[in-house]
Structures are given as structure tokens and as C-alpha cells.
Amino acid sequence: MELNERELIYDWNLHGRVTQYHREVELNDETLRDGLQAPSVTQPTLEEKIRLLHLMSDLGIHSANIGYAGASAKALNDVVALAKEIVDHKLNIAPNCAGRTVKVDIDPIVEASERAGIAIEAATFLGSSPIRQYAEGWDLDRLLKLTADAVSYVVSRGIPSMFVTEDTTRADPEALRKLYTCAIEHGAQRICLADTVGHATPDGVYNLVTFIKEVVKDTGADVKIDWHGHRDRGLAVPNTLAAIAAGAHRVHCAALGIGERSGNTPMDILIVNLKLLGVIDNDLSRLPEYCRLVSVACGVPIPFNYPVVGADAFRTGTGVHAAAVIKAQRKGHDWLADLVYSGVPAGMFGFKQGIEVGPMSGEANVIYWLSSRGIEPSRELVTKVFDAAKRSNRLLTDAEIEAIVAAERVVA
């Protein structure tokens, strides 16, 4: 009888209380702007940025923040080059740039847009929380004037406007209502809610997005809502999923979660979850390449236990686990071996389940390792490898097992 995974997995994610996600959510990649603000990263070369931009497009990412054009002449030239790359290669990705609510930051975005021949959305940001206002010596009237002047100026220069409040998750409702209403009335097409210091929990995000939806509704304008999260409390992915569930139209993430302090919402982990939830149907086969490029270009090591692209993501040295995978493979179904001891299918990303040999292994691990490499698993050889594994305090390397095999052949 032919079986499939739905018949063999009872999915509690789909039974009982089930969150409904906004199915038309868009992805905005912050790797090349907010991601590069991480104190420990290396700045990638322009060539690396261009390669990454192509990978973003291939992964179905809708838009990308391509830099802080007002930071320096080099930053501006890189932004222009990236924007031209989108135009010249007809990449299916829309560019945006961040800037403060001042002309000195907005003008370089306008210049880049004109030089590249493509509209670059200006994401102008402004602190909004009481604690930020107190520290900076600001009052709400000043913030409202900055908002009105900046958004009006962006619109007058003919580029799209996204208005961002920093520290939105710690700002009071009435201040947010006034700031966002002001931005919308002066022409902002998007507004962005930012968990700048990673304060929020999923409930807080859901409450905030729901409130801001009512603010937008009260204006009568057709304005999109963005969510920008950080992971200081380790909640960036569930927070972003909560924002999508509440109705956010676009969410901001960065590859490998790089960014200031503990970083931003990891694009790779979020996009995998959206795929598994059925929210998106993107081809993610190039996701490992995307992550490896950022790792190398930015000098960010990928932890061995990192989801999907970590070295240990799809391998096991534990006897019970390996035995289940081996038995599943013998039934002749690749998908069965892929899922019997994994919640994420390795094949979706061009990987396979790996079975290693170590102190927690059973003889089945040894037999599989040898057989999969065309080596006859004789009783003597299996015993020698197994004994070596039990004496070890870690997994045996391929070279170590091969040395045992070579020694056994000499004896034979």
C-alpha cells in the first residue's frame, strides 16, 4: 500500500487552535543595511553584495534594503550599483534605503534613484518611545514636525515613502496614532513598526499590529504595514509570525539573523517556517548558498547546530535515531527517511540525512557507514570500528574510520 506523510504524521499544528497567517505577506531583506550594523561583521565587497542580491531574487524575496546611501560617498556608489544591477538584470526585487527624517539623508536616496533609473523607496525613521524622547530631549510636537517635513519632502522628490517609528513596541498608543496619521496624511505609502531593542513578545506584537491596523483604517488610506523585529530575547521568529498573523503586509529580516546586538529576525529560518506552514511556495533550493555567502562575506561563522544550514542540521550519530532512518530508507521512500527523525525535510534544500559513527552509536551506524561507501561490513571490521567509536569522546572522522578499514585490509 502506498503511503504518504499525511497518513503517518499527526500534525498538532493543524488541529485545535490554529493560527491563520496573512497569505500575501512580502519579505524585505535587511542584510545589506541593518545586518551590516552588527559590530562584529566584515563589510562585504560590492561583488559579494551583487551576488547576494541575485540570490535574494532567486529565493523570491520581494524587496531589499540596499544600504544607507547617506553614510558616505562609497555607500552611495554601492547603492547606485546595486540599484543598477536590479535594472540591468531585471531582478524581481524592489530596492529601498534607510535614512533619518532629515534632508541630508533623503537627498542621497533621491540621487541614487535618479542615477540608477529606478524608484528607491525611502525608509525614513524616527524614535518614538517615551524613554527615547526623554533621553534625546525631544517632545511629540517636534517629532510630528520632523515626520511631516520628511515624508512631504520624500513624496515631493517623486520616490515612495515608508515611515518608520523606532522602538514602536515601547511607545504609547496615542503618540503612535498621531505620528502614523501624520505620516499617512503627508503621503506615506507604507508605515513600519520596529521592535528596535527586541522588547516584544508574540502577544505584544499581535496587539500592536492590530492597533495600528485600526489607525490606518481610521485614515481611510490604502497604506501597507511593515514589521521589523530584533532578537534580543530570542523571540524574533515567533514575533514575526505573530505580526503576519495579525495582518502585517511585509516583514523585515536579515540572513543568519545578523544585525546590531543580538541581531535581526533570521531570514533563512523565517522563510523555512513560512514554507512549511504553507504561507509561501518559494523555491528554497538556493537557501544554503545564500547563507554560506553571507557567512563568508561578513565573517559570520554558522553554528554547527544552526537550523537547516548548520553542519549537524541533518546528521546523527545516535544509534536509535540512525536505526529509524536506516529502516525508513529500506522501505524505499526517500521522504520517509527524510522525515522519520527530522521536522524539516533535508531534500528541500538539496541535503540528505547523514548517519555518523561515535560513542552514542549502535552497530547499525557502522554497517550503514561502510555499506554506503561500498565497503563490505564484515563482522571483524564492524567490531573494530564499533569498539573505536565506544572508546572515543566524539564522532569518528571519515579519515579515522578509513584508517581502520585500511588496517583491516592489510591484516586480511
Residue pLDDT, tens place only, 346-401: 999 989 889 999 999 999 999 989 998 999 999 999 999 999 999 999 999 999 99
Q: Which residue has the cell 557567512?
A: 295
Band of residue 2 on the pLDDT scale cut at 50, 70, 90:
low
Query: Is the same domain home to 99 and 48?
Result: yes
Q: Would you report the helix, strand and coil content of the chain in percent, each value rounded to 5?
A: 50, 10, 40
pLDDT in tens, 160-215: 999 999 999 999 999 999 999 999 999 999 999 999 999 999 999 999 999 999 99
In the prediction, which pLDDT does 409 show? Answer: 81
Domain presence at residue 48: yes
Tell me the sheet residues that pair with 250. 26, 226
Domain presence at residue 347: yes
Domain presence at residue 306: no
Last residue of a domain, one of 298, 324, 354: 298
User: Which CATH number does the domain housing residue 179 bear?
Assistant: 3.20.20.70
pTM above 0.75, yes or no: yes
Last residue of a domain, one of 263, 298, 333: 298
pLDDT in tens, 61-76: 999 999 999 999 999 9
Last residue of a domain, one of 298, 323, 347: 298
Helix axes 103-116, 73-88, angle to 10 degrees: 40
- Average pLDDT in the chain: 94
Query: Is the same domain home to 132 and 164?
Result: yes
In the prediction, which pLDDT does 25 show? Answer: 96
Residue type, 103: K
Helix axes 363-371, 319-330, angle to 10 degrees: 50
**Exposure string over 98-132, b if 16+ CB within 10 A, otherwise e:** bbbbebebbbbbbbbbeebeeebbbbbbbbbbeeb
In the prediction, which pLDDT does 74 show? Answer: 96
Domain presence at residue 60: yes
In the prediction, which pLDDT does 18 show? Answer: 80
| Residues 181/145, Cβ–Cβ less than 8 Å | no
Predicted confidence (pLDDT) at residue 326 exceeds the cutoff of 90: no
Query: Is the same domain home to 353 and 251?
Result: no
Domain presence at residue 110: yes
In the prediction, which pLDDT does 269 show? Answer: 98
Query: Is the same domain home to 205 and 169?
Result: yes
In the prediction, which pLDDT does 319 show? Answer: 87
**Integer Cα distance of 250 and 11 in angstroms:** 27
In the prediction, which pLDDT does 15 show? Answer: 81
In the prediction, which pLDDT does 22 show? Answer: 79
pLDDT in tens, 98-130: 999 999 999 999 999 999 999 999 999 999 999
Residue-range definition of the domain harbouring residue 279: 19-298
Q: What is the mean pLDDT of residues 245-260?
A: 97
Query: Long-range contacts made by residues 44-49, C-beta under 8 angstroms, separation at least 24?
Result: 44/294, 44/297, 44/298, 45/297, 46/78, 46/81, 46/82, 48/293, 48/297, 49/78, 49/82, 49/297
Band of residue 412 on the pLDDT scale cut at 50, 70, 90:
low
**Integer Cα distance of 406 and 400 in angstroms:** 10
In the prediction, which pLDDT does 16 show? Answer: 81
Query: Is the same domain home to 223 and 335?
Result: no
Band of residue 234 on the pLDDT scale cut at 50, 70, 90:
very high
Beta strands of 101-188 (E only): which ranges?
121-127, 161-166
**Integer Cα distance of 314 and 325 in angstroms:** 11
Phi, psi of 201 (to 5 degrees): -110, 165
